[in-house]
Amino acid sequence: MKKIVVATDFQSSSEDAFAYATYLAEQFEAELALVHVYFPIVSTDPNMPYDSIAPVSLQEEMIQIYETRLAETLASIPNKTLKTSSKLIIGSVSSGVSGYAEEVGADLIVVGRNHESSFFERLIGSSASDIVKNTSIPVLIVPAASHKPFIKSIIYGTELESDEKEVLAKVFAFANQLKARVTLTKINVAFEPDIQDDKQMLADIKESFAEQHFSYEIVDASLVSEGLLQAAHKTDADLLVIARHHHNFLSQLVNPSKSKEIIGKTDIPLLVYDLEA
């Protein structure tokens, strides 16, 4: 991992995300890029002048304020040897963050999420889901009030399918760098069909990753998201990892994205990989 992009809205929910991004940048000796997305307030009335709501002078002032806050946030990092940069992006949160991360070749995107249930906070949570949906880069979602950055126990929510092997290789590499232990957790849900035999696939994984030490468990639950979070809490996991499947339009209607569901519920840091990356 060489470059980490972390998004901030300068709210308390972003502080934990920034702390985790800084921790990982130090552990991996990676560059840390701090970004803020500013969406100017404009009128939806085509007959109203562009600057009637937010004059150009005010927008320029806001840009200066945000750039100053970005610089101050980076200056607060105790480790002065860490390579850092900042970027103020004008546009929407999801496309702005994911687009910039892809532009600079980031290996990881880090975003925060608040537990509050207000409309605004649900909007922030939706932005995290949209960023995951709009990029093939791994995304780490850090809930507000997460414990001090420390990752020694990782749960990977597996479906025990052959297309997970590339993601598993990345998970093990990530864990090895942090000297963390990995537990593969399979959630058995009554209405979810098994495409491949679990025992055969587990044996295949053990053979493919013979040098890795990991645990395996099966958890029965009514929902995948609830089962994974229960398993994470039971083992005091520091990080939950899932792989995102791409869905076509019909499957989105029939079976909403599991990753979006877990993003909305998780109270521990969640790392989302793209299976097709």
Where in the chain are the domains?
3-143, 153-274
Is the confidence at residue 96, as pLDDT, over 50?
yes
Average pLDDT rounded to a whole number, residues 168-187: 97
CATH value of 153-274 in 3.40.30.10, 1.10.3720.10, 3.40.930.10, 3.40.50.620: 3.40.50.620
Q: Measuring CA to CA, which residue among 84, 99, 33, 21 is closest to residue 269? A: 21
Q: Would you place residue 216 in the very low, low, confident or very high pLDDT band (cuts 50, 70, 90)?
A: very high
Q: How far is CA 168 from CA 3, 164, 202, in A?
A: 20, 6, 12
- Measured in residues, the chain has a length of 277
Is the confidence at residue 72, as pLDDT, over 60?
yes
State the CATH class of domain 3-143. Answer: alpha beta
Rounded Cα distance between 80 and 74, Å, is: 9
Render pLDDT for 134-152 as a digit per residue (tens, 0 to 9).
Answer: 899 999 999 987 778 999 9
For the chain, the average pLDDT equals: 85
Please give the model's pTM, rounded to 2 decimal places.
0.87
Q: Helix (H) and strand (E) counts for the chain?
A: 9, 10
- Torsion sign across C-alpha atoms 129, 135, 136, 137: negative
Same fold yes or no, 3-143 and 153-274: yes
pLDDT given for residue 55 in this prediction: 62
Q: Measuring CA to CA, which residue among 15, 7, 4, 11 is closest to residue 149? A: 15
